[in-house]
Each structure stands twice: as C-alpha cells, then as structure tokens.
Chain A
Amino acid sequence: MRFAAALAAAVTVSSACVAAPPARVASLHLCADQLLLALADRDQIASITFLAAEPTASVMAEAARGLPVNRGKAEEIVSLRPDLVLAGPFSARSTVALLRGLGGRVVDLPYVGSFEGIRAQIAAVAELLGHPERGARLIAQMDSRLAAVAPPRGARLTAAAYQPGGFTARAGSLEDAAIAAAGFDNLATRLDSGSGRVALETLAASAPDLLILGGEADHLPSQQARLLAHPALRALPSARVYVPARLWTCGGWFAADAVALLAAQRAR
C-alpha cells in the first residue's frame, strides 16, 4: 500500500512535468493489462499481454479482443515505440532494465495486497493515462460493491483458502484482505508456519466453517491438485465456495466480486 501511495505521489509529480498524456501505452503484465483496458482510450493501447485475452485469467478478456498482444519480451515492446510501458511485480527484471536502458519510460506497478492499495493503484494509473475521472468512477463502483456486502459486527466464521499443494491465502495477500472484507477470520494466517502452506492434517483438525477453492488448473491432473480430491478434505463438514482465481490474482476493482462471493456464504 505504501508502495502504491508513493507511486501515486511520483506519478502526480511526473504527470505535472509531462504535459500531454501518453499516446501509446504498452503493458507487460496481466494486472497492468486489466487496468489499462479499463482506464485508457482504446487507441491509447499499443500492446497488452496474451493473458489479457484469456477468459480464465482476465476479467477484461472481452475488451482485449482485437488488440495487439505481447509475451513480455523486450523486442516486441521496443518495435512498438510506446511512450509508456507498464510493468508488474512478476515482470522479468532484465526486460524492465533493458527497456529503461533503451530510454523508454517504464512504470512498475507493485503487487497490492489490500483494498486501500487497489484504490491508490487505480487512481495512479488513471492519472498517468490522463483519465483521472475514470479512475474515480471505478473506485466508487468498487466501494459501493464492498459496502453492499459489508459484514455485520459480531462473531466471525472461519475460512480457509486451499489450493493445489496445500497453498493458502497468507497474511498480507489480497486473498487475505478479501476474506477479511467478507467478514471471515482467515484460518490460514493462524495455521501457516511461514511456508504459505497448510498441511492436510492441520486443515482437517481445524475444520474451517468455509473452505475456499477455485484455481484454474485444479482440474488438470497433477500431484499437487490431487490433494483437493483427498477423502480427508471431502469428509470435512465445511461449506465450500469457488472463487475464480482471476478475481483476486491481480489487485483490481473486480476483487470486490470475490468479496461478494464469499459474503454470500455468511448467510448459510
């Protein structure tokens, strides 16, 4: 969050110096793609990643159709001669350094693990693109969605996200923030020994009220995904909810939809 706030400040200063908003913007990262598609004019977009058009990964797949795509390689970007390149937390550092070395303007969008961070990042990118009013509208939309499902005060139910290999929503992640915003106590932050994983035995012994599932590759055969079909997991009395990974892999307004899916389970 602090990163995003600092970025917002930096962006405000730099956009004051740069007179006109960028005319050609390229994105190297799925999370930047989705913000770009939501906030920029269509002719402002020079390139997005191929993942942006993937419906399982991106909430903006519809809007991404027909736009030029890249696979995050420096060569593809340089030939487009963009005014601005947006990179993300998992973009190859070597690619970012190379593009900067060639004199391009590259803005890194850090990982956001909170709704405060999402607001700051949307506002920063909207400002950067010269459309601050669109950013404000998107934030207001997210906030009203969150307010509609805000949890009542009182005792909280427990929830645990469980992914292939026993990976879970660790403290400080967006998943953790969404679970809290939906009014659940994230069991994983108590059970996780620091590896980001919770053992099957530990989960079975703690029996959360709600079990959160829903990765995109969970149905493809792998040893790690097999864990989700384990009889011990099936025997748990917990309620189950599927939250598509695209809703909270990236910090965006759509994370409110993940909160709404979880909040709907409170009533049960």
Chain B
Amino acid sequence: MTAAAAPRAMHAPSDVRLYAVLIALLVVLCLIALLIGDVALTPAELASPAGAIILQEIRVPRLLLGLLMGGSLGLSGAALQGLLRNPLAEPGVVGVSATAALGAVIVFYFGIASAFPLALPLAGFAGGAVAVALLYALAGRGASAVTLILAGIAIANFASALTALALNLAPSPYAALEIAFWLLGSLADRSMADVALIAAPVLIGWVLLASTGRALDALTLGDATAQSLGVSLGGLRLRVILGTALAVGASVSVAGSIAFVGLVVPHLLRPFVGHEPGRLLLPSALGGAALLIASDIAARLIPTGTELRPGVITALIGLPFFFALVLAQRRVQP
C-alpha cells in the first residue's frame, strides 16, 4: 500500500481488462433490456410508430434510470466502505436509501413535487444527507461492524416507519398501498422526465465520489499518515456524504430504494483491484449499473402476476453476501 500517494495505477493492464469486461457486460445487458418487455417486439417492429413509443418513452427511460441508479449504488457503496473502512457499509444497510425515500415521500404525496418538480430529488438528497451525517455521528469511522449495522438499522427502521406514516396521511387513497414501491423500488413505467429530473444531481454526486479515490487510498494507512500525505479528512468526509446523498438520494426519489447493490458489487470486484479503495470506485459504478440492469431484466422475465420488484432480486442475491461478510467479520473481530 506504499503506492497510495503515487499516481494511480488506473492504466495497469489488469484494470484495462477489468474495465473492458465490465463495459462489454453492460452493453450486452443494455441491449437485452431494450429488447424485452411486456410486449414482444422484434427489432424491426421497434421502428413502427407504436414500437417507437414503447422504445423511446418506456424502455429507454427505464434503462437510463437503471444505469444512473445502479451506478450510484455501486459507486457510493465502494466510497462508503472506503471511508468507514467497513465492508458492510452500503447505502441501503446504513439507512441512506430509507431516509431518502422518506424525504421523497413527503414532497411527492403532499403535492410539493407537482408544483416544483426539482423538490423531489432535492428531498431525496436531504434525506440521504441526514442519514450519512447521523451515521457518522453515531458510529464514526472505523467503528465495529456491529456498531455500524446497529446505527444503520436504527436509522433505516425509523425512516421506514415515518414513510409508512406519511403514506397513511397522504390525501391519495392509493398512497397507503405504495409502501412496497419505496421499500423495494421499481424502474417500471418511469419516463424521460424522471431521467431529466435526476440526471444532474446524480452526475454531480458521481464526480464528487469519483474524486475521493486518492484520499481513500491514503486513508488505508491510517488517519495520521493520510493527513501527512496532504489529505483533508474533513473534505473527504464531506465529499463522500454529499456525493452519496446526491447520487443515491436523487435515484431513490424517483425509483424507490433498492438494497444490496452497493454491498455486493464492491465486494465482488475488490480482489481485481488489489484491494485498493481508489481503484475500486469506477469499476463499482459500472458493476452496480450492470447488476441493477440484470436484476431489472430478471424482474421482467420471471412470470409473476404483478411485476416483481428489482429490490426483491437484489435482496435475494445480496443476502448470502451479507451473511458471508458478517461471518468473515466475526473471524477478524471475535
């Protein structure tokens, strides 16, 4: 880890290969996502007027949202794990998604978002920022896995309870039944308006998170060494908190919360980047997008009466990883 302050080995051959594999995988998944749906359409039929509506107004926005949200979850998972030096940190587990959903629910159901659309991603951002700040205050960095998980559970459950309360108080009779959307997410039937609404906050969040690579690498050497290498710990924290809250908060505000993507993806990719948190960031964004798109494809292909939620699939995939990580932690810290 002595290379922490050296120029990043981003162009090392193994990284190039990793990027090539991830991008190829993502491209294939994107093509599949555009070709499948409730209506079976051949590529030729997609050019017909009805097919063009389906492609441009339904499938493309769904795919773009999946890319934005999946990338946000993977990237913020990798950054949170680096900052908190804890492989269990993840936007869903630490309660960011739940508080972002609470913020979005309040502005959406009570008509604020209809009057001022940008309020929706902003409320998601505010909710997410409160969760990360609370978590940092409650558990701090380098806290034991148990402390982190306890703080996360407390924040997430409290936020989910308030979300259910807000839905019950909402004027629409449909609201009370929509808790599943906020807890398990959905990319179904979103529109380009949703994509346009969250694109800017998500991309700003990505830039903030991607800029933390060198500081996260330095942090693996300890706080004092990192500071001696010129890393501002306060600045690093602020960038991870703001970046996560912007990227994940905005995504959750239009697609609900989807758990475990930020946990599974960095965990899977870590061995390929020499366990360096800085090199893990961008591959995690690509991997997160790939995992969410794949889960959304599975949600559409598995025949259930009502379409399956992508959060169900990611949870089914994520839980074994979570247990494996908990067991690994027990071995390290009995």
Q: Judge whether B170 is part of the interface by a CB distance below 8 angstroms.
A: yes
CB distance from B51 to the nearest CB of A (A): 8
Residues of A close to B298: CB separation below 8 A: none
Which residues, 134 to 181 on B, are CB-close (under 8 Å) to A?
Answer: 170-175, 177-178, 181
When the two chains form the complex, which single residue of B53, B54, B113, B191 contacts A221, counting CB atoms closer than 8 Å? B113
Residues of B close to A227: CB separation below 8 A: 189
Tell which of B38, B113, B170, B191 has the most Cβ of chain A within 10 Å: B38
In contact, A217 and B173 (Cβ under 8 angstroms) = yes
Which residues, 214 to 268 on A, are CB-close (under 8 Å) to B?
Answer: 217, 220-227, 230-232, 235-236
Residues of A close to B307: CB separation below 8 A: 199
Contact A222 to B193, CB < 8 A, known contacts A195-B306, A231-B57: no
When the two chains form the complex, which single residue of A165, A201, A217, A220 contacts B58, counting CB atoms closer than 8 Å? A201
In contact, B191 and A231 (Cβ under 8 angstroms) = yes
In the bound complex, what is the Cα–Cα distance between A206 and B174 (angstroms)?
Answer: 26
Q: Which residue of B lies closest to A166 (CB)?
A: B189
CB distance from A214 to the nearest CB of B (A): 15
Q: Judge whether A164 is part of the interface by a CB distance below 8 angstroms.
A: yes
In the bound complex, what is the Cα–Cα distance between A66 and B189 (angstroms)?
Answer: 45
In the bound complex, what is the Cα–Cα distance between A222 and B58 (angstroms)?
Answer: 19
In the bound complex, what is the Cα–Cα distance between A236 and B57 (angstroms)?
Answer: 11
CB distance from B111 to the nearest CB of A (A): 6
Residues of A close to B108: CB separation below 8 A: 221
Q: Judge whether B192 is part of the interface by a CB distance below 8 angstroms.
A: yes
In contact, A205 and B50 (Cβ under 8 angstroms) = yes
Q: Per-residue CB proximity of A178-214 to B under 8 Å, as 1/0?
A: 0000000000000001110101111011010000000
In the bound complex, what is the Cα–Cα distance between A165 and B186 (angstroms)?
Answer: 13
Residues of A close to B192: CB separation below 8 A: 231
When the two chains form the complex, which single residue of B39, B111, B181 contacts A223, counting CB atoms closer than 8 Å? B181
CB distance from B280 to the nearest CB of A (A): 34
CB distance from A198 to the nearest CB of B (A): 9
CB distance from B47 to the nearest CB of A (A): 14
When the two chains form the complex, which single residue of B41, B51, B172 contacts A222, counting CB atoms closer than 8 Å? B172
When the two chains form the complex, which single residue of A202, A221, A223 contacts B38, counting CB atoms closer than 8 Å? A202
CB distance from A177 to the nearest CB of B (A): 24
In the bound complex, what is the Cα–Cα distance between A217 and B178 (angstroms)?
Answer: 14
Residues of B close to A223: CB separation below 8 A: 174, 178, 181
When the two chains form the complex, which single residue of A204, A207, A225, A231 contacts B172, counting CB atoms closer than 8 Å? A225
Residues of A close to B51: CB separation below 8 A: 205
Residues of B close to A204: CB separation below 8 A: 39, 50, 53-54, 57-58
Residues of A close to B114: CB separation below 8 A: 221
Contact A202 to B39, CB < 8 A, known contacts A230-B57, A231-B57, A235-B57: yes
Which residues, 158 to 182 on A, are CB-close (under 8 Å) to B?
Answer: 164-165
Residues of B close to A199: CB separation below 8 A: 38-39, 307
Q: Judge whether B109 is part of the interface by a CB distance below 8 angstroms.
A: yes
Residues of B close to A193: CB separation below 8 A: 305
The bracket for how many chain B residues form the interface is: 20 to 34
In the bound complex, what is the Cα–Cα distance between A14 and B82 (angstroms)?
Answer: 78
In the bound complex, what is the Cα–Cα distance between A222 and B170 (angstroms)?
Answer: 9
CB distance from B256 to the nearest CB of A (A): 8
On chain A, the number of residues with a Cβ less than 8 Å from chain B's Cβ atoms is 27
In the bound complex, what is the Cα–Cα distance between A221 and B120 (angstroms)?
Answer: 12
In contact, B109 and A222 (Cβ under 8 angstroms) = yes
CB distance from B62 to the nearest CB of A (A): 10
In the bound complex, what is the Cα–Cα distance between A166 and B41 (angstroms)?
Answer: 21
When the two chains form the complex, which single residue of B58, B170, B171, B178 contacts A200, counting CB atoms closer than 8 Å? B58
Contact A221 to B50, CB < 8 A, known contacts A205-B39, A230-B189, A231-B192: no
In contact, A232 and B172 (Cβ under 8 angstroms) = no
In contact, A222 and B175 (Cβ under 8 angstroms) = yes
Contact A164 to B53, CB < 8 A, known contacts A200-B58, A205-B41: no
Tell which of B51, B54, B307 has the most Cβ of chain A within 10 Å: B54
In contact, A224 and B174 (Cβ under 8 angstroms) = yes
In contact, A220 and B37 (Cβ under 8 angstroms) = no
CB distance from A9 to the nearest CB of B (A): 37
In the bound complex, what is the Cα–Cα distance between A221 and B193 (angstroms)?
Answer: 16
In contact, B171 and A201 (Cβ under 8 angstroms) = no
CB distance from B331 to the nearest CB of A (A): 43
In contact, B54 and A201 (Cβ under 8 angstroms) = yes
Tell which of B51, B111, B114, B174 has the most Cβ of chain A within 10 Å: B174
Tell which of B51, B54, B189 has the most Cβ of chain A within 10 Å: B189
Q: Which residue of A lies closest to B59 (CB)?
A: A201
CB distance from A230 to the nearest CB of B (A): 6
Contact A194 to B41, CB < 8 A, known contacts A221-B172, A225-B174: no
Which residues, 34 to 63 on B, are CB-close (under 8 Å) to A?
Answer: 37-39, 41, 50-51, 53-54, 57-58
Q: Which residue of B lies closest to A165 (CB)?
A: B174
In the bound complex, what is the Cα–Cα distance between A207 and B111 (angstroms)?
Answer: 31
In the bound complex, what is the Cα–Cα distance between A220 and B172 (angstroms)?
Answer: 5
In contact, A197 and B58 (Cβ under 8 angstroms) = no
Residues of B close to A202: CB separation below 8 A: 38-39
Tell which of A164, A202, A224 has the most Cβ of chain B within 10 Å: A224
In the bound complex, what is the Cα–Cα distance between A227 and B171 (angstroms)?
Answer: 17
In the bound complex, what is the Cα–Cα distance between A231 and B192 (angstroms)?
Answer: 8
Residues of A close to B54: CB separation below 8 A: 201, 204-205, 232
> Top 10 A-B pairs ranked by shortest CB distance?
A220-B172, A199-B38, A222-B174, A232-B57, A222-B172, A201-B38, A205-B39, A195-B305, A224-B174, A201-B39
